[in-house]
Amino acid sequence: MVTSTHEASHRLFQEHPEALAPVFEALGLPPPSPADFHELSPDVTEIRPMERRADTVLKFEPDMGESFLIAVESQTKKDPDKARSWSYYVAYLSAKYDMPVLLVAVCRDRATAAWAMGPFDCAVGPWTTQTTCPFVLGPQTVPEVTDEATVVRRPALAALSAIVHSESRRAPAILETVARGLLSFEPDITKYWFEVVEVGLESTPTRDNWRKLMQDVITHFPGHGTLFEEKYLEGKAEGEAEGEARGEAKGVLRVLEVRGLAITDAVRERIATCSDLTLLNDWLDRAGTVERAEDLFA
């Protein structure tokens, strides 16, 4: 089942593989560069009815040193079936790409993180044929980011820290540090990282704290009409207007479809891309009486 935490990890490691820095440090390898990674298909399904898919699969291919695959899996609770799936992922990917595979599990709570470390053995009696030992990115291995300078230098690691330590007693301090550190970036970048953390915290009590913190720190002087506050409020209003326009456009198209009128690609695009609410309301009123979809624009 794909959860919000899975989606956050999926996007985080695909777009910012430098968040894997704690893994490389533990392995005694130099800090990774985003240019050294190439995304591969996460599909590990054979020609069978059962589908298997890892969260993220990356190929680490530095200019110098050993190349290997990294399969990233988010795990929110203990799952005996997942241990078997992980063993399969490692064996399949290694055979398919003829490369060693490092399995990385991302966990938010200590109990799940401790379980995910394994080892998970495939054994008959005293003989073990295969052993799977994931590298776990969890509260025990990801540093607690409580320094704004670290957030500025390593935003991907800071976002991962906020997600992984969301159930820690120090979570409030980590979230506040990460939020204030992210404000040093351009507004669009700040918004991107805020959303990454928010999605990663979904289904946790910490998410409400993060959303409130986002509102509190979006400006240091709320209500004073600073440039930053004005730009933020303008962007928020524009986003709400765009959402309303999309809803109206869908309504117009739906009425035409229910009436069985032919809708050309040109007509559909013109309606769907219109942002003028007054015009869209007019089209919605007329959609129930026109004989052809094109007549809306007459």
In tens, the pLDDT along 74-113 reads 888 888 888 888 999 999 999 999 999 999 999 988 999 9
Cα diameter, the chain: 82
pLDDT at 49: 40
pLDDT at 151: 92
pLDDT at 68: 93
Residues of the chain with pLDDT under 70: 1-10, 41-54, 215-240
pLDDT at 50: 40
pLDDT at 234: 65
User: Considering only CA atoms, which of 104, 105, 112 is closest in space to residue 167?
Assistant: 112
* 3-class SS letters over 239-274: HHHHHHHHHHHHHHHHHHHHCCCCCCHHHHHHHHCC
Residue 171: how many other CB atoms lie within 10 Å: 21
Q: Contact, 280 vs 274, CB < 8 A?
A: yes
Parallel, antiparallel or unpaired: strands 127-132 and 120-124: antiparallel
Query: Residue 31 and residue 104: Cα distance in Å, rounded?
Result: 16
Could you tell me the residue ranges of all domains in the chain?
4-137, 148-217, 227-297
User: Considering only CA atoms, which of 32, 15, 20, 33 is closest in space to residue 196?
Assistant: 15
Residue 124 bridge partners (DSSP): 127
Residue 83: how many other CB atoms lie within 10 Å: 19
